A and B are shown apart, each in its own frame.
Chain A
């Protein structure tokens, strides 16, 4: 009995020692700043030469951001809508590309390398330069046929299409990591499952829906989360510009910037919750299957 107890205790110790270095770093440089930020959001913060001067305001900063500053709810909504459109697009695009890159054909590794290259180069500076010079969209796509097409469709659908075309390169360049993750996920599906399905007479389409996609669910979930984080925290985001602007602005102060940051944080959290709810069922199934297997 005593041996078992000490084994369990040892297990716990091992577990803690594995996470310790990371958790310390996380606590000091992420979790604590986050909470400190929340505290500042409740105050009016002034930088005096060598220390901070704070006076407690309660939720005044939040109220001001939501009710008085016309810019903030507007920008929040704008970011929210854009991401709502871009995130599924990136994931679906990455999925299609991954499916294509995973099917057997000559020169597959060449194509994989080509799509891997942008992943390596999406270094912040490069994307920033490109978007600032209007290279995020391709001129050829906008002029001529595409423009006519968009105008022809008109309405919301046309506008959506326009957004897609405008951000084509962004979608392309920000889907690299997702492609990588999805291809890795596809490799994890047992080839014999496919064989069995083919012997049972399943077509490509059926195999895609009944084997590949369910098997990919955990990886799709990772991709969606990654894309949301990537898009919402990209530094060219309009709301982050507002936050940066306010944090160095003396009249509004850092407290106000913190309040906006936390509001923004809550919005993203809401999106995250929705995603988890959507994936809960399929992920739960995957977990159950795993437990049964174990």
Chain B
């Protein structure tokens, strides 16, 4: 019969184990954890602030200096927002539909075009390649705000004012998208593509099943940038569309508080609530990307 390990011995072993793991949790790890926690807390502050704002009653929203936390939380802002959506000239669902359609299409197309273009720049050879890529890198530096009016002239020339095209087309050629993905693709060894080519894969297949999985972090970053460009975009609604039914959500929310009429002041609460609601898709994308992107980044890597 196997002798049972006496309790004293067990305790002793447990204690030894604890000491061991304590001694081997390196000091650097502890410091890293403390630092990360501190920075994480600070970086979450704005989110807390926006959430608090959405639940603040009107008198708290107008307090100066602005208060960080909410004192008497209320749902009034959301009710106000619902009311504002009821009385808008065009049904609220129309703005929502416009925004969602435009955002989904633009983000998807931007990623596809950027991937194709970056692939050609990184892995294919064609005349004028270097010069074209230099041009893109230079164009990165030009702010869209500066070309708003010339863009308007072109949108006007193309006769796409007041259509979905006016929402989508100007956003598609995102220089940052090509730049980011191309730089990541450069890190993927050419031999990988050559091997696939010998195995009989065509260019589209190589791009889709070999290169794209390897540059997923860059694709994710482009997705985020493209999404943010479009979802919060108010310029397009202001300039390239005329009829109310072609305008997007940010325009509607902005219009709630434009002008200093009594109703627009009262709607400050509704805007605060809308500000939180506008972030919902961001949270959804976060939830989706968080697992897939951060984890693939850990496991797959590039080279």
Chain A residues near B (Cβ < 8 Å): 11-12, 14-16, 18-19, 21-26, 28-34, 36-37, 40, 52, 97, 100-101, 103, 105, 107, 109, 111-126, 129-130, 133-135, 138, 168-169, 172-173, 177, 180-181, 183-185, 187-190, 204, 218-219, 221-222, 225-226, 228-229, 232-233, 235, 237, 240, 243-244, 247, 254, 257-258, 261, 264-265, 268-269, 272, 290, 293-294
Contacts and interface: CB of A to CB of B under 8 A. Distances in A.
B143 A233 contact: yes
B303 interface: yes
Contacts of A23: 117, 132, 173
A245 B127 CA distance: 42
A293 B231 CA distance: 43
Given A11-B126, A34-B147, A101-B36, A272 B141 contact: yes
Interface in B31-49: 32-33, 35-36, 39-40, 42-47, 49
8 contacts: A15-B124, A19-B117, A28-B154, A34-B147, A120-B224, A135-B46, A172-B42, A229-B140
Contact of A123 (B49, B282, B303): B282
A233 B144 contact: yes
Contacts of A126: 46, 50, 275, 279
B139 A37 contact: no
Interface of B: 28-29, 32-33, 35-36, 39-40, 42-47, 49-50, 65-66, 113-114, 116-117, 119-121, 124-127, 129, 132, 135-151, 153-154, 158, 169-170, 172-173, 175-176, 178-180, 183-184, 186-187, 189-191, 203, 217-218, 220-221, 224-225, 228, 231-232, 250, 275, 278-279, 282-283, 285-286, 289-290, 293-295, 297-298, 300-303
Given A14-B124, A29-B170, A126-B275, 10 more contacts: A21-B117, A37-B150, A100-B35, A113-B294, A124-B228, A133-B66, A189-B303, A229-B141, A294-B190, A294-B191
A84 B25 CA distance: 39
Chain A facing B: main interface SS = helix
A247 to B, nearest CB: 6
Nearest to B46: A130
Contact of B189 (A12, A107, A293): A293
A37 B290 contact: no
B48 to A, nearest CB: 11
A199 B295 CA distance: 28
Contact of B228 (A113, A123, A181): A123
A21 to B, nearest CB: 5
B32 A105 contact: yes
A24 B289 CA distance: 30
Given A26-B175, A173-B43, A229-B176, A269 B138 contact: yes
A268 B141 contact: yes
Which residue, A120, A169, A258, has most C-beta atoms of chain B within 10 A? A120
Given A30-B139, A114-B40, A169 B45 contact: yes
